[in-house]
């Protein structure tokens, strides 16, 4: 079974623990009784784990992913409904409970590994970092691999197609007609040339007894009715009237509120807490000391917060207490220097002989870039409500990884995984942060100390200071140009590699390349941040190629284009973005134009920025974005994700900086960790190419190319090359740099 097939997929599910998994027949009496009980009500037939057909003919898609705002639920439901030929108006969504059997659905690590192409199958318009986070947490959800969301997407289609085939077969059996004479359409099966028809609901009980098809045919793109259209997102109405329930909105009768202070310096423990400092404060119920943190429980959040602010807490000291951001950068530089001499460098990618080509080149260009730590800052502060009762723990929160949270909570409380129930709510932003279960574990440990449910809410200050940060790093480049100013050698050395592996790769035809890195972990916790390593390497490589173009005195767009000899999809998005931006046309005074290109999570993206320099500050006026995701499942959703990713990336490029002072994060809230606002938000145009092939992501690919496009535009306007982010640390003038590191 060397090749991953749909047949194998279905079989795998059955083998991996049960019929539960892909078992088209989940019905009372089989091994999946427990699961069936979770999702099937009276009179409902559960055709398969992915969908439920109710007596009123509504089809409920059971979506294994949290809704973070990318329209994940809608897109997954579309795929299922289209293959099923359901009536879209009768499709409902429900998120799968964090239950082991649901995680198990997944699949088939073995099969993934047997299909070398599969990891590239990034059907995620979803949360790409879910997968990385799963790996990080070493959760190894049974059958769960890094590809949960992707497979989920495919599984949706297979499930829909399987169920459709079974419904058709059920009708054929019932009417004694050949299945070829029947057709499924908008929730019905009918005879093509006759009068017989029945709803899916009428056929469902019988269909549940039909054997699962071994290899249900999936629709071709031409046959899509729902996929590829921009149906209104299912989650939006509730997000306009206050009825959407986020984790922070969960209500459990009798609950109290808690808030927490963690040791400012990562890793330091609590030395002492003087509870007399908050004696008699109103509403205060309890002080709970955890590992490196102290929480106050009170009748309301405000009371807890007031008391915590007054509470005298002393933390232990450590060697990290004197660490400054400048020490960290210095250390990075030392590690990079040392790696070259002591041989501790790791080769990331090599082709040809880059050192020799550099030595023999007509010209040599060098540059060093650096980027700071970044926080996620989801709009909803971290929170979790926990209730321990009857030997069980229930939690209400917004999680990108509900089963992982359940496992961590179970571990912390030393109870069985089955004794933990996660009620996952809407996420007020995740961006990778809500894959880390620290706040859920804290809530559970606090709840373990009291006889009532507790809602733990972090302040924004804690959120900013106790994140898992996008790494700060230094990246050094050397390139050799031949006598025609074409690059013949590309050398890149940087600190710390995470994922995805290909984030450092360039699409340009340069024969001799050496990309290598040295490892230098700091005490600052690291986490997956929207687009992960692409967020920094996109900035580095697309800035440096721009520097080469200028060194060659060539147009940066043409220079890139000439180097994309075997990269038609890169070329197409580059051409589209440049064309739509009217590249080359005269711009007003003090304006500049820059371009950036990056493929990430299976999608090719090119972006052009138009910037105006006023009062020494860059004002981004317009962004033109071209994306080829293979196929846009939901074009408007993809456009929204591009807008979102661009604004996220612009925020980081312009302002994003988490710095370490005396071992702790210096920033605390939105006044010193700034976000882009409405008045700074540019006009954004997105153009989509359905280039074919595997379907790429949407949530992350909008982010990586925007920072380089912006600094390249600033260079175009001013002649000043920004090699260190954020841009707000530089003061610009029309003639170039005026001063640096302004306060």
Partner 1 sequence: MTMITLTINGETRQLDVDPSTPILWVLREQAGLSGTKFGCGIAQCGACIVHLNGNPIRSCVTPVAAAANQAVTTIEGIAGARPHPVQQAWIDEQVPQCGYCQSGQIMSAVALLDANPDPSDEDIDLAMSGNICRCGTYPRIRRGIKRAAAHLRALQEDSSNG
Q: Which of 630, 644, 652, 463 is nearest to 68 (CA)?
A: 644
Point out the residue whose Cβ comes nearest to ligand FES.
379
Contact status, residue 486 vs residue 357, Cβ threshold 8 Å = no
**What length does the chain have?**
743
Contact status, residue 409 vs residue 446, Cβ threshold 8 Å = no
Q: Which stretch binds partner 1 (CB under 8 A): 301-309, 494-502, 597-605, 609-617?
A: 301-309
> Least separation, in Å, of the C-beta of 427 and ligand FES?
9
- Does the protein bind partner 1 through residue 243 (CB under 8 A)? yes
DSSP string, 707-742: HHHHHHHHHHHHS----BS-GGGEEEETTEEEEES-
- Does the protein bind ligand FES through residue 236 (CB under 6 A)? no
In DSSP terms, which residues pair with 475 in a beta bridge?
369, 494
Euclidean distance between CA atoms 695 and 714, whole angstroms = 33
Residue with Cβ nearer ligand FES (68 or 445) = 68
- Does the protein bind ligand FES through residue 461 (CB under 6 A)? no
Residue with Cβ nearer ligand FES (463 or 542) = 463
Euclidean distance between CA atoms 374 and 371, whole angstroms = 9
- Which of partner 1, ligand FES, none does residue 594 bind (CB under 5 to 8 Å by kind)? none
- Does the protein bind partner 1 through residue 580 (CB under 8 A)? no
Contact status, residue 515 vs residue 398, Cβ threshold 8 Å = no
Number of residues that bind ligand FES (CB under 6 A): 3
* CB neighbourhood size of 365 (10 A): 17
Residue with Cβ nearer partner 1 (46 or 226) = 226
Q: Which stretch binds partner 1 (CB under 8 A): 173-181, 441-449, 554-562, 632-640?
A: 632-640
> Least separation, in Å, of the C-beta of 432 and partner 1?
13
- Does the protein bind partner 1 through residue 676 (CB under 8 A)? yes
- Which of partner 1, ligand FES, none does residue 232 bind (CB under 5 to 8 Å by kind)? partner 1
Could you identify the residue written with the tokens 């990884």?
A: 401
By CB under 6 A, name the one of 350, 379, 501, 509 that touches ligand FES: 379
* CB neighbourhood size of 339 (10 A): 19
- Which of partner 1, ligand FES, none does residue 601 bind (CB under 5 to 8 Å by kind)? none
- Which of partner 1, ligand FES, none does residue 457 bind (CB under 5 to 8 Å by kind)? partner 1
Pairing mode, strands 284-290 and 293-298: antiparallel
Residue with Cβ nearer ligand FES (429 or 733) = 429
Helices (H), 414-471: 438-447, 460-465
Q: Which stretch binds partner 1 (CB under 8 A): 125-133, 489-497, 678-686, 707-715?
A: 678-686
Residue with Cβ nearer ligand FES (1 or 379) = 379
Residue with Cβ nearer ligand FES (69 or 432) = 69
Euclidean distance between CA atoms 307 and 326, whole angstroms = 35
- Does the protein bind ligand FES through residue 238 (CB under 6 A)? no
- Does the protein bind partner 1 through residue 239 (CB under 8 A)? yes
Q: Which of 560, 525, 70, 643 is nearest to 267 (CA)?
A: 525
Residues in contact with partner 1, shown as a per-residue x/- string from 247 to 286 under the rule CB under 8 A: -xx-x-----x------------------------xx---
By CB under 8 A, name the one of 54, 262, 459, 600 that touches partner 1: 459
* CB neighbourhood size of 706 (10 A): 33
Residue with Cβ nearer ligand FES (101 or 467) = 467
Contact status, residue 295 vs residue 287, Cβ threshold 8 Å = yes
- Does the protein bind partner 1 through residue 615 (CB under 8 A)? no
- Does the protein bind partner 1 through residue 236 (CB under 8 A)? yes
Residue with Cβ nearer ligand FES (267 or 429) = 429
- Which of partner 1, ligand FES, none does residue 269 bind (CB under 5 to 8 Å by kind)? none
- Does the protein bind ligand FES through residue 69 (CB under 6 A)? yes
Greatest alpha-carbon pair distance for the chain in Å reads 84
Dihedrals phi, psi of 480, to nearest 5 degrees? -110, 130
Question: CB under 8 Å to 436, separation ≥6 — which residues?
Answer: 133, 137, 468, 527
DSSP string, 376-413: ---SSPPEEEEEEETTEEEEEE--S-HHHHHHHHHHHH
3-state DSSP: the chain helix, strand, coil percent, rounded to 5? 35, 25, 40
- Which of ligand FES, partner 1, none does residue 152 bind (CB under 5 to 8 Å by kind)? none
> Least separation, in Å, of the C-beta of 580 and partner 1?
16
> Least separation, in Å, of the C-beta of 304 and partner 1?
10
Residues in contact with partner 1, shown as a per-residue x/- string from 63 to 92 under the rule CB under 8 A: -----xxx----------------------
- Does the protein bind ligand FES through residue 398 (CB under 6 A)? no
- Which of ligand FES, partner 1, none does residue 236 bind (CB under 5 to 8 Å by kind)? partner 1
- Which of ligand FES, partner 1, none does residue 356 bind (CB under 5 to 8 Å by kind)? none
Contact status, residue 446 vs residue 259, Cβ threshold 8 Å = no
Residue with Cβ nearer ligand FES (380 or 496) = 380
Residue with Cβ nearer partner 1 (389 or 677) = 677
Provide the 8-state DSSP code for 208.
T
Euclidean distance between CA atoms 263 and 358, whole angstroms = 48
> Least separation, in Å, of the C-beta of 378 and ligand FES?
8
**Helix, strand or coil, per DSSP, at residue 576:** helix
> Least separation, in Å, of the C-beta of 734 and partner 1?
24
Find the binding residues for partner 1 in span 175-234 (CB under 8 A).
230, 232-233
Helices (H), 95-187: 100-105, 109-114, 128-136, 148-175
Q: How many CA atoms lie within 13 A of 455 on its CB side?
A: 23
Residue with Cβ nearer partner 1 (178 or 254) = 254
- Does the protein bind ligand FES through residue 683 (CB under 6 A)? no
Euclidean distance between CA atoms 692 and 221, whole angstroms = 10
DSSP string, 245-296: -BGGG---TT-EEEEEEE-SBTTPPEEEEEGGGGTT-TTEEEEEEETTEEEE
> Least separation, in Å, of the C-beta of 559 and partner 1?
30
> Least separation, in Å, of the C-beta of 240 and partner 1?
4
Helices (H), strands (E): how many in the chain?
Answer: 19, 29
DSSP string, 257-270: EEEEEE-SBTTPPE
- Which of partner 1, ligand FES, none does residue 53 bind (CB under 5 to 8 Å by kind)? none
Tokens of 563: 């180097």
- Contact set with ligand FES (CB under 6 A): 69, 379, 429
- Contact set with partner 1 (CB under 8 A): 68-70, 230, 232-233, 235-246, 248-249, 251, 257, 282-283, 300-303, 377-381, 426-431, 457, 459-460, 636-637, 640, 643-648, 651, 669-671, 675-681, 683-684
């Amino acid at each position: 079974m060397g090749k991953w097939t749909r047949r194998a997929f279905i079989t795998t599910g059955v083998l991996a623990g049960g019929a539960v998994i892909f078992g088209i027949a989940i019905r009372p009496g089989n091994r999946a009784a427990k699961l069936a009980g979770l999702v099937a009500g009276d009179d409902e037939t559960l055709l398969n784990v992915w969908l439920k057909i109710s007596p009123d003919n509504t089809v409920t898609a059971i979506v294994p992913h949290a809704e973070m705002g990318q329209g994940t639920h809608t897109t997954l439901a579309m795929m299922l409904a289209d293959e099923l030929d359901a009536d879209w108006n009768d499709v409902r969504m429900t998120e799968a409970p964090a239950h082991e059997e649901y995680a198990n659905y997944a699949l088939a690590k073995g099969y993934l590994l047997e299909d070398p192409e599969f990891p590239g199958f990034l059907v995620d318009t979803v949360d790409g970092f879910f997968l990385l986070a799963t790996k990080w947490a070493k959760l190894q959800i049974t059958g769960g691999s890094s590809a949960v969301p992707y497979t989920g997407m495919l599984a949706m289609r297979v499930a829909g197609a399987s169920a459709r085939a079974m419904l058709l077969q059920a009708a054929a059996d019932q009417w004694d007609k050949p299945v070829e004479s029947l057709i499924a359409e908008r929730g019905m099966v009918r005879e093509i040339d006759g009068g017989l028809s029945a709803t899916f609901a009428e056929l469902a009980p019988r269909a549940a007894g039909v054997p699962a098809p071994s290899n249900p045919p999936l629709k071709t793109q031409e046959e899509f009715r729902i996929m590829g259209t921009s149906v209104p997102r299912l989650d939006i109405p509730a997000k306009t009237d206050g009825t959407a329930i986020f984790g922070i909105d969960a209500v459990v009768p009798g609950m109290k509120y808690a808030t927490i202070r963690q040791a400012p310096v990562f890793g330091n423990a609590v030395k002492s807490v003087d509870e007399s400092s908050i004696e008699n404060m109103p509403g205060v119920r309890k002080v709970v000391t955890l590992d490196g943190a102290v929480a106050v429980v009170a009748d309301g959040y405000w009371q807890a917060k007031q008391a915590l602010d007054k509470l005298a807490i002393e933390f232990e000291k450590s060697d990290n207490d004197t660490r400054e951001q400048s020490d960290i950068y210095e250390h990075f530089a030392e590690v990079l220097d040392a790696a070259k001499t002591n041989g501790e460098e790791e080769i990331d990618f090599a082709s040809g002989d880059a050192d020799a080509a550099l030595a023999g080149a007509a010209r040599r260009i060098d540059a060093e870039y650096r980027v700071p730590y970044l926080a996620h800052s989801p709009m909803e502060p971290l929170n979790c409500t926990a209730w321990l009762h009857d030997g069980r723990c229930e939690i209400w929160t917004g999680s990108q990884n509900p089963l992982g949270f359940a496992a961590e909570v179970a571990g912390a409380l030393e109870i069985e995984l089955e004794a933990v129930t996660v009620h996952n709510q809407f996420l007020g932003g995740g961006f990778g942060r809500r894959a880390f279960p620290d706040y859920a574990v804290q809530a559970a440990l606090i709840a373990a100390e009291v006889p009532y449910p507790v809602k733990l809410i972090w302040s924004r200050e804690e959120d900013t200071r106790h994140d898992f940060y996008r790494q700060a790093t230094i990246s050094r480049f050397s390139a050799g140009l031949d006598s025609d100013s074409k690059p013949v050698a590309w050398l890149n050395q940087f600190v710390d590699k995470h994922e995805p592996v290909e984030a450092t790769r360039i699409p340009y035809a340069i024969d001799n390349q050496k990309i290598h890195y040295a490892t230098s972990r700091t005490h600052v916790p690291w986490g997956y941040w929207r687009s992960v390593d692409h967020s920094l390497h996109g900035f580095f490589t697309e800035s440096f190629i721009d520097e080469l173009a200028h060194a060659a005195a060539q147009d940066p767009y043409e220079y890139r284009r000439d180097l994309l000899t075997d990269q038609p999809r890169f070329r197409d998005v580059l051409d589209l973005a440049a064309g739509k931006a009217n590249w080359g046309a005269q711009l007003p005074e003090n304006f500049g134009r820059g371009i950036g290109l990056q493929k990430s999570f299976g999608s090719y993206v090119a972006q052009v920025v138009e910037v105006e320099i006023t009062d020494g500050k860059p004002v981004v006026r317009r962004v033109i974005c071209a994306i080829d995701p293979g196929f846009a499942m939901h074009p408007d959703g993809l456009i929204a994700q591009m807008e979102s990713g661009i604004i996220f990336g612009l925020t980081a490029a312009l302002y994003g900086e988490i710095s370490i002072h005396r071992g702790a994060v210096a920033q605390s809230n939105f006044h010193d960790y700034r976000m882009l606002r409405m008045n700074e938000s540019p006009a954004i145009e997105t153009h989509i190419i359905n280039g074919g092939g595997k379907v790429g992501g949407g949530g992350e690919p909008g982010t990586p190319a925007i920072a380089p496009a912006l600094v390249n535009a600033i260079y175009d306007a001013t002649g000043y090359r920004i090699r260190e982010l954020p841009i707000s640390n530089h003061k610009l003038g029309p003639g170039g740099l005026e001063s640096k590191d302004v306060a």
